[in-house]
Amino acid sequence: MSETEEHELLRQTVRQFTATRVEPQAMEHDESGTFNTKLLIELGKLGLIGITVPEGDGGANLDATASVIVHEELSYSDPGFALGYLAHALLFVNNFYWAGNPSQRRKYLPKVLTGEVIGCMGMTEPSVGTDVLGLQTTARKTGGGDYVLNGRKTFITNGPESGIALIYAKLDNRITTFVVEKAFPGFSVSPKIPKVGMRASTMSELIFEDCVVPAENLLGTEGGGITNMMRNLEIERLGLAAMSIGMARRCVDVMVKYATERQTFGKSLADHGQIQRYIGDSYAKLEAMRALTYNVAATVGPHHRNRLGTDAAKLFASTAAKEIADAAIQVLGGYGYCSEYRVEQFWRDAKLIEIGGGTLEAHQKNITRDLTAQR
Ligand X SMILES: Cc1cc2nc3c(=O)[nH]c(=O)nc-3n(C[C@H](O)[C@H](O)[C@H](O)COP(=O)(O)OP(=O)(O)OC[C@H]3O[C@@H](n4cnc5c(N)ncnc54)[C@H](O)[C@@H]3O)c2cc1C
Binds ligand X (CB under 6 A): choice among 27, 212, 308, 355? 355
Tell me how far, at minimum, the Cβ of 89 lies from ligand X, in Å.
Answer: 12
Closest CA to 81 of 117, 29, 31: 29
Tell me how far, at minimum, the Cβ of 195 lies from ligand X, in Å.
Answer: 5
| CA angle (126 as vertex; 125, 127 as ends), nearest 5 | 90
Closest CA to 180 of 198, 193, 192, 168: 168
Q: Which stretch binds ligand X (CB under 6 A): 36-44, 151-159, 207-215, 232-240?
A: 151-159
Binds ligand X (CB under 6 A): choice among 67, 75, 77, 157? 157
Nearer to ligand X, 120 or 313 (CB): 120
125, 236, 344, 354: the catalytic one is 236
Site string for ligand X, 70-99 (x = CB under 6 A): -----------------x---x--------
Told to judge if 236 belongs to the known catalytic residues of this protein, a careful annotator would answer yes
Beta-carbon contacts of 223 under 8 Å, excluding residues fewer than 6 positions away, are 171, 172, 174, 175, 176
The answer to the question of residue 359 lying near ligand X (CB under 6 A) is: yes
What is the footprint of ligand X within residues 297-336 (CB under 6 A)?
Answer: none
The answer to the question of residue 361 lying near ligand X (CB under 6 A) is: yes
Beta-carbon contacts of 74 under 8 Å, excluding residues fewer than 6 positions away, are 14, 18, 22, 81, 82, 85, 243, 246
Alpha-carbon gap, residue 337 to 177, rounded angstroms: 43
Closest CA to 156 of 184, 116, 118, 113: 118
Neighbours of 188 (CB within 10 A): 13
Nearer to ligand X, 4 or 130 (CB): 130
The answer to the question of residue 356 lying near ligand X (CB under 6 A) is: yes
Binds ligand X (CB under 6 A): choice among 309, 352, 353, 366? 352
The answer to the question of residue 357 lying near ligand X (CB under 6 A) is: yes
Concatenating the DSSP letter of every residue in 80-110 gives HHHHHHHIIIIIIIIHHHHH--HHHHHHHHH
Beta-carbon contacts of 85 under 8 Å, excluding residues fewer than 6 positions away, are 40, 43, 48, 49, 70, 71, 74
**Taking a C-beta distance cutoff of 8 angstroms, is the pair 343, 330 a contact?**
no
What is the footprint of ligand X within residues 195-214 (CB under 6 A)?
Answer: 195, 198, 203
Nearer to ligand X, 88 or 290 (CB): 88
Nearer to ligand X, 124 or 282 (CB): 124
Tell me how far, at minimum, the Cβ of 205 lies from ligand X, in Å.
Answer: 11
At residue 359, the 3 state secondary structure works out as coil
Binds ligand X (CB under 6 A): choice among 58, 84, 122, 246? 122
Give contact residues for ligand X (rule: CB under 6 A). Answer: 87, 91, 120-124, 129-130, 155-157, 195, 198, 203, 352, 355-359, 361-362, 365
Active site residues: 236
